[in-house]
């Protein structure tokens, strides 16, 4: 006898949940496809060297590593037993994919990926060690056209899913850096400074100031919190003007993005100077989607103009947006969303010891009903026929036929 449960932190997906997941995925992909994104797929497994190239931030600590095999394993030292790992996101594999296949792809490549990723996190409610990400990326578009399309497409996908209460928060890494520099922080401390700043929502301005102050001194801490807060207090126009004065490059980028999406009638967007995003590879615009009463992030992304260059040399611009599929699924399930495929559902029942002749009459009748677009089950009656019928009705079956030597009779 074995443990029946899936590995720690992983899940079995029941039929009704899978239907909903497929519907969500199809809806998102339908919208993305209409924007000209094309689907790609990479292996779930990548070389460990690629996965541990310091692009994945803390996720690199969470890699499921795969043992070498055969001779390769025999010749390995104890600290070098693994050669592969399960991917922890879809972005690092995408960059390898583009490097490997760019000759066969359009020069501006709009990629769409839906797939599982794995992270050996301490399991907790709503967090899994295998979960689905749903990414779009635009490679080789250096202007804010990329950001604009990513925001519009992702927004449209959420609307189509019946999730209108979202807001896309936008910032620019270059602005963050300029802010930190202006407040006297050293470049080597930026990562730590930003991790603290990122907690503004959770621990408030006082909390952030205290933490920064303890680590880097009171002066810079006070300045940075005040400056960030002041950008949040202003109306959007004034805040963006201020951003332009602090970091013209980033400010202008933000002005262009906000101007363009608003001109397209998209209003669910907000400038948030305290937005940080965890991944090391972002170089410019960053975004995150907050969802309504849940107050949680249901997606995020940004521009990463250097990641690809590290793989293929030169500069290759890229910008991506990832939808947190599991969170979207949870919200829609909580809302009671179900899938109705519109197909009729019919059952043909026979006695337990039905002859081949009776069974084939039932199977043929089912085949006929299928050509009319119905889902058809052929089943043998069980002892507790009442229970069987009620279970089938609960599963959505509405039409029942009993098949015997005497022919096929509809049950009322």
Q: Which is nearer to a copy of itself, 147 or 211 (CB)?
A: 147
Sheet with 345-350: list strands edge to edge: 375-380, 345-350, 399-404, 407-411
CB of 11 to a copy of itself, least distance (A): 7
d(Cα 281, Cα 366) in Å, to the nearest integer? Answer: 56
CB of 322 to a copy of itself, least distance (A): 18
d(Cα 276, Cα 198) in Å, to the nearest integer? Answer: 6
CB of 377 to a copy of itself, least distance (A): 4
User: What letter would DSSP give residue 274?
Assistant: T
Q: Which is nearer to a copy of itself, 156 or 198 (CB)?
A: 156
d(Cα 174, Cα 252) in Å, to the nearest integer? Answer: 11
DSSP characters for 233-255? HS-HHHHHHHHHHH-HHHHHHHH
Q: Which residues of 159-197 are buried (b: 16+ CB within 10 A; e: fewer)?
A: eebebeebbbbbbbbbbbbbbbeebebeeeebeebbebb
Q: Which is nearer to a copy of itself, 110 or 223 (CB)?
A: 110
CB of 366 to a copy of itself, least distance (A): 8
- CB 210, CB 197: distance < 8 Å: no
Cα angle: 163, vertex 168, 171; to 5 degrees: 165
Q: Which is nearer to a copy of itself, 69 or 237 (CB)?
A: 69
Cα angle: 159, vertex 395, 162; to 5 degrees: 5
Residue from 27, 44, 34, 218 nearest 115 by CA: 44
CB of 165 to a copy of itself, least distance (A): 21
Give the list of residues 6+ apart from residue 353 with CB closer than 8 angstroms, or none.
Answer: none
Two tokens, residue 362: 């039932």
d(Cα 280, Cα 303) in Å, to the nearest integer? Answer: 11
CB of 293 to a copy of itself, least distance (A): 28
CB of 412 to a copy of itself, least distance (A): 22
Q: Which is nearer to a copy of itself, 392 or 408 (CB)?
A: 392
Q: Is 98 helix (H, G, I), strand (E, B) or coil?
A: helix
Q: Which is nearer to a copy of itself, 4 or 188 (CB)?
A: 4
Q: Which is nearer to a copy of itself, 33 or 242 (CB)?
A: 33
- CB 275, CB 169: distance < 8 Å: yes
Q: Which is nearer to a copy of itself, 23 or 177 (CB)?
A: 23
Q: Which is nearer to a copy of itself, 110 or 303 (CB)?
A: 110
CB of 404 to a copy of itself, least distance (A): 15
Q: Where are the beta strands (DSSP E) in 196-295?
A: 269-271, 285-291
CB of 79 to a copy of itself, least distance (A): 12
């Amino acid at each position: 006898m074995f443990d029946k449960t899936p590995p720690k932190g992983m899940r079995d997906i029941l039929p009704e949940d899978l239907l909903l997941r497929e519907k969500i995925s199809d809806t998102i992909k339908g919208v993305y496809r209409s924007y000209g994104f094309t689907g790609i797929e990479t292996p779930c497994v990548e070389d460990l060297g690629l996965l541990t190239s310091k692009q994945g931030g803390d996720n690199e600590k969470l890699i499921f590593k795969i043992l070498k095999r055969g001779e390769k394993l025999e010749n390995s030292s104890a600290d070098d037993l693994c050669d592969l790992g399960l991917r922890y996101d879809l972005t690092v594999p995408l960059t390898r994919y583009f490097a490997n296949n760019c000759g066969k792809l359009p020069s501006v490549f709009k990629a769409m990926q839906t797939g599982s990723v794995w992270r050996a996190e301490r399991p907790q409610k709503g967090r899994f060690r295998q979960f689905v990400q749903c990414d779009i990326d635009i490679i080789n578009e250096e202007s804010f056209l990329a950001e604009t399309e990513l925001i519009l497409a992702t927004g449209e996908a959420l609307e189509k899913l019946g999730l209108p209460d979202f807001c896309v928060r936008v910032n620019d890494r270059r602005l963050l850096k300029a802010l930190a520099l202006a407040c006297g922080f050293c470049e080597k401390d930026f990562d730590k400074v930003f991790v603290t700043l990122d907690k503004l929502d959770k621990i408030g301005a006082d909390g952030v100031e205290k933490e920064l102050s303890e680590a880097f001194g009171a002066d810079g801490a006070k300045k940075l919190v005040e400056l960030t807060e002041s950008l949040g207090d202003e109306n959007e126009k004034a805040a963006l003007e201020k951003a332009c004065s602090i970091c013209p490059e980033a400010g202008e980028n933000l002005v262009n993005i906000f101007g363009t999406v608003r001109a397209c009638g998209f209003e669910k967007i907000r400038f948030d100077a305290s937005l940080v995003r965890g991944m090391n590879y972002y170089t410019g615009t960053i975004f995150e989607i907050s969802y309504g009463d849940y107050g949680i992030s249901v997606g995020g992304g940004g521009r990463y103009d250097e990641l690809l260059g590290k793989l293929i040399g030169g500069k290759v611009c890229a910008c991506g947006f990832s939808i947190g599929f599991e969170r979207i699924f949870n919200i829609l399930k909580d809302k009671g969303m179900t899938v109705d495929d519109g197909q009729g559902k019919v059952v043909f029942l026979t006695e337990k010891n039905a002859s081949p002749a009776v069974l084939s009459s039932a199977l043929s009748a089912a085949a006929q009903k299928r050509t009319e677009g119905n889902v058809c089950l052929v089943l043998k009656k069980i002892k507790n026929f009442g229970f069987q019928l009620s279970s089938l009705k609960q599963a959505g079956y509405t039409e029942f036929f009993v098949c015997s030597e005497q022919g096929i009779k509809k049950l009322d």
